[in-house]
Structure 1
Amino acid sequence: MSTALNSMKRRKRVGSDTLLFEREGHVAVITLNRPAQRNAINQEMRRTLMDCLQRVREDGDVRAAILTGAGGTFSAGADLKERASGGGGRRHDNAPASVIEADLSAQWSTMKFEKPLIAAIDGYCLAGGMELALVCDIRICTPEAQFGLPEITRGFFPGGGGPQRLARSIPQSIAMELILTGDRIDAETALRAGIVSRMVPAEDLMETAMKIATRIAGHAPLAVRAAKEVALAAMDETFEQSMRLGGALRWIVGQTDDAKEGPRAFVEERDPRYQGR
């Protein structure tokens, strides 16, 4: 574990031992914490994670968040032992497939999370674990990271937004090969494909993620959220629609106290003190 994470004062353990929640300044760190199971995502972890993300979303003092995994693994995906035993919440007699797939993993893939979310990935990042990483705005990894959507090899397919997000963010042929073969790729391949933006040594992973998050958290929060909203809108809407949204948000952000503080701090040759208003 890096010195950056070791130096962090733990503020709260949320819900259960399946998830850890920590804070340093304006940055929250959420750690998937089932290392003996390679951080396989069971129902308890899903519920706790959704609750934790909602807490981060509502906490005005948190401006960015990091998502990572304990024990040298991000997440190997859904807990298949739980699913095989019928404890995963997916056995619904006579229910249509659309209902069965509308579980918590799908909920987090469509959750509107306005604050920047960074995935710090080591080891396995597979199936639902990869889908969770794809929800994040920025992804960094170690050379030991492995990525894949192997659901197709187990008789089902990724239902947490993985195919949709991959197809929108990387070249179609690469995305389709990953989705349809279920094969894994290594960190170098993920970096070349654009699935991650950086690859760093394992000992530097959390420190690098914290530097990125702290850098973002130092900016005006409302401007950061608006920039993220416009960038994401550009993926779903026409260029003209996203430009109109950008114009509206630019006017709104321009009326805030932080929009005045930035130029004032520049003139006074000091660091800005943004308040998120």
Structure 2
Amino acid sequence: MGGTEHLTVERVGATLVLTLNRPEARNALSLPMLVGLHDGWTEADRDDEIRSVVLTGAGGAFCSGMDLKALAADGGMAGQRYRERLTADPDLHWKAMLRHHRPRKPVIAAVEGPCVAGGTEILQGTDIRVAGESAVFGLFEVRRGLFPIGGSTVRLARQIPRTHALEMLLTGRPYTAAEAERIGLVGHVVPDGTALDRALEIAALVNANGPLAVEAVKASVYETAELTEAEGLKSELERGWPVFATADAKEGAKAFGEKRPPVYRRA
């Protein structure tokens, strides 16, 4: 299984758990972390035994964004030996941050502590979000004279009401977990230290479902997001009808009739 010094990878049943692992820097983004994330998303896409992904952070933090201190000090980031990977794929960091890549498996974020700047930008690429009570969110870039170029000026207003998106983007102020839940940025707020547990519980519910159906539903939601209703309904049929012809669909109906858990084989 992959991973780097700043990104750990673990399997929990059919869930791949990716942990940002640089707690001494509140999991600020680094080259080893970005390479590890990229490889984790790739593994999840390629391995059919993986049904879902949980993204979390070590040491009571999710991600505090780019390592501004390192950038200011030497114009680079820790882990320069990974430069060859970036040279080979100049888009690698955007894929890692889910700006230019959408995993086909559901991605569940388990947030504790700071999830700010680049952390909030990565969060917008996840599908389901759980936060500990003390989690903090925000896009601080404008406070540093920077631009949130990880996708937030495009995605955020499509995920939460525009007035809240613009306030977050233009003020650069922090948001509590309760406020993030109220505006719809996260779906669950749980006691501190239990976000990962809740995320794994949600992942287990996802994993119990037909994988072909789950992946088709996720794809349809994103494919139709910016279409007209008529266009979206047409696209939905194109995605949805083939699912009914699968062996998994037949197994789901059979298991229901026999009052037993279904055994899906991705077929």
- Residue in 2 that maps onto 1:203: 193
Of residues 23, 30, 35, the one that matches 1:47 is: 35
Of residues 200, 204, 207, the one that matches 1:217 is: 207
Task: Work out whether residues 3 and 9 of structure 2, in 8 Å CA contact, stay in contact via their aligned partners in 1.
Answer: no
Task: Work out whether residues 255 and 262 of structure 2, in 8 Å CA contact, stay in contact via their aligned partners in 1.
Answer: yes
Q: Please state if 1:60 is matched with 2:48.
A: yes
Q: Distance in 2 between matches of 1:170 and 1:105?
A: 25
Structure 1 residues 188-225: Cα deviation after superposition (integer angstroms, max 9, x where no partner): 10010000001001232221111100100110001001
Q: Report the Cα offset of residue 153 of structure 1.
A: 1.2
Of residues 29, 44, 60, the one that matches 1:72 is: 60
Task: Work out whether residues 102 and 125 of structure 2, in 8 Å CA contact, stay in contact via their aligned partners in 1.
Answer: no
Of residues 171, 177, 181, the one that matches 1:191 is: 181
Structure 2 counterpart of 1:212, one-letter code: I
Question: Secondary structure at 1:275's aligned position in 2?
Answer: coil
Q: Distance in 1 between matches of 2:45 and 2:135?
A: 28
Q: Please state if 1:111 is matched with 2:118.
A: no
TM-score normalised to structure 1 length: 0.88
- Residue in 2 that maps onto 1:254: 244
Q: Distance in 2 between matches of 1:177 and 1:78?
A: 21
Q: How does 1:4-15 map to 2 (within 5 A)?
A: 12=1, 14-15=2-3
Structure 2 counterpart of 1:262, one-letter code: G
Structure 1 counterpart of 2:8, one-letter code: L
TM-score normalised to structure 2 length: 0.91
Please give the root-mean-square deviation of Cα atoms over the aligned residues, in Å.
1.5
Structure 2 counterpart of 1:113, one-letter code: P
Question: Secondary structure at 1:119's aligned position in 2?
Answer: strand
Of residues 17, 31, 45, the one that matches 2:5 is: 17
Question: Secondary structure at 2:175's aligned position in 1?
Answer: strand
Task: Work out whether residues 42 and 79 of structure 1, in 8 Å CA contact, stay in contact via their aligned partners in 2.
Answer: yes
Alignment: residue pair count:
253
- Residue in 2 that maps onto 1:135: 125
In the superposition, relative to structure 1, how do residues 115 and 197 fare at CA in structure 2: closer, same or farther (>3 Å)? Answer: same
Q: Please state if 1:159 is matched with 2:160.
A: no
Q: How does 1:227-246 map to 2 (within 5 A)?
A: 227-246=217-236
Q: Please state if 1:27 is matched with 2:15.
A: yes
Could you tell me the percent identity over the aligned residues?
A: 40
Q: Distance in 2 between matches of 1:161 and 1:30?
A: 21
- Residue in 2 that maps onto 1:92: none
- Residue in 1 that maps onto 2:168: 178
In the superposition, relative to structure 1, how do residues 103 and 184 fare at CA in structure 2: closer, same or farther (>3 Å)? Answer: farther
Unaligned residue ranges in structure 1 (runs of 5+): 1-11, 90-101
Question: Secondary structure at 1:158's aligned position in 2?
Answer: coil
Q: Distance in 1 between matches of 2:75 and 2:21?
A: 22
Q: Distance in 1 between matches of 2:92 and 2:141?
A: 17
Task: Work out whether residues 130 and 188 of structure 2, in 8 Å CA contact, stay in contact via their aligned partners in 1.
Answer: yes
Task: Work out whether residues 105 and 159 of structure 1, in 8 Å CA contact, stay in contact via their aligned partners in 2.
Answer: no
Task: Work out whether residues 40 and 77 of structure 1, in 8 Å CA contact, stay in contact via their aligned partners in 2.
Answer: yes
Q: Please state if 1:87 is matched with 2:65.
A: no
Task: Work out whether residues 116 and 225 of structure 1, in 8 Å CA contact, stay in contact via their aligned partners in 2.
Answer: yes
Q: Please state if 1:266 is matched with 2:222.
A: no
Q: Which runs of 4+ in 1 moved over 2 A?
A: 102-108
Q: Report the Cα offset of residue 241 of structure 1.
A: 1.8
In the superposition, relative to structure 1, how do residues 184 and 105 fare at CA in structure 2: closer, same or farther (>3 Å)? Answer: farther
Question: Secondary structure at 1:22's aligned position in 2?
Answer: strand
Unaligned residue ranges in structure 2 (runs of 5+): 79-89
Question: Secondary structure at 1:160's aligned position in 2?
Answer: coil
Task: Work out whether residues 121 and 141 of structure 1, in 8 Å CA contact, stay in contact via their aligned partners in 2.
Answer: yes
